[in-house]
Amino acid sequence: MDPKATIAQGKQTKSPLVMTHVVCGYPSFEANLKELEIMNDFGVDFVELQFPFSEPSADGPLFVKANQVSLEQGTTVADCFDFMRQVTARFDFKVLMMGYYNTVFKMGHARFVQQLKDAGGYGYILPDLPIEEAGELHALSKAEGLTPIMLMTPTNSDERLAQLAAVAAGFVYVVARKGVTGSKTQMSNEVALFLSRCRKFTDLPLGVGFGVSAKEDIDFIREHGDIAIIGTAALKAWEAGGEESLRDFFDQLGIQSFG
């Protein structure tokens, strides 16, 4: 089944779908597994496994710290692929590599694509890779059934949104506001208008991220988007009180299943 059809099928029983995020090796791979078990219990549909990088330019302070600590603890790209292999073998949600292009460049496109496929990955999110430089990687990915996820941001012109839509696959990651991850986003009419603008250029499902942290955000995305993308808020909950806090966090989101 193609990625778009997979998402459409998921939406028959739940709206919105949910994508979450963990930073590999932070605070430890053991903790990552506990986080993922809870996310799985709450029926998440996608998880981004972030491969730590020294300059995570799209990330806010908490994820920057998590990247740095993970690297200081010795986490390697090989460790992250090994962990992805464990995760995809154990859980039903789809797993994306999230990271920065330097990681892919150092490995080489063909090796990266092969390792991601071998680890059971669905695709990847590389926020710092311009589409003008992504042709070879995208072609190799398509040949192996992997999905590169494009980001649409409020600063994109209509021309740029059209260019992004032309190469997008699976779903589109709609960045709800300017800036980096981490701070609260007011899910306002302005965000709704931007989502409408994105829909003019693509019929792919729209994931909404950056600042999703409360039930009202989920309700907003149910009305205006397709996938709620939850990152920093879940890590904040874990840092506040481990497993119990993370369960409480997901419980208060009120994610609806109706299948």
CA 247 to each of CA 96, 241, 257: distance values in angstroms, whole numbers, following the listed order: 22, 10, 17
Cα of 57 vs its chain's centroid, Å: 15
Q: What is the DSSP string of 87-143?
A: HHHH-SSEEEEE--HHHHHHH-HHHHHHHHHHTT--EEE-TT--GGG-HHHHHHHHH
- Are the C-beta atoms of 202 and 155 separated by less than 8 Å? no
Looking at this protein, which amino acid is placed at residue 239?
E
> How do beta strands 150-152 and 172-175 pair?
parallel
- What is the token pair recorded at 221? 């995305």
- Are the C-beta atoms of 48 and 125 separated by less than 8 Å? yes
Which residues are paired to 152 by β-bridges? 174
> How do beta strands 123-125 and 147-148 pair?
parallel
Task: Give 103: exposed, middle or buried? Use CB within 10 Å, 0-12, 13-18, 19+.
Answer: middle
**Active site residues per annotation:** 48, 59
Query: What's the CA gap between 32 and 22, in Å, rounded?
Result: 7
How many helices (H) and strands (E) the chain has is answered by 11, 11
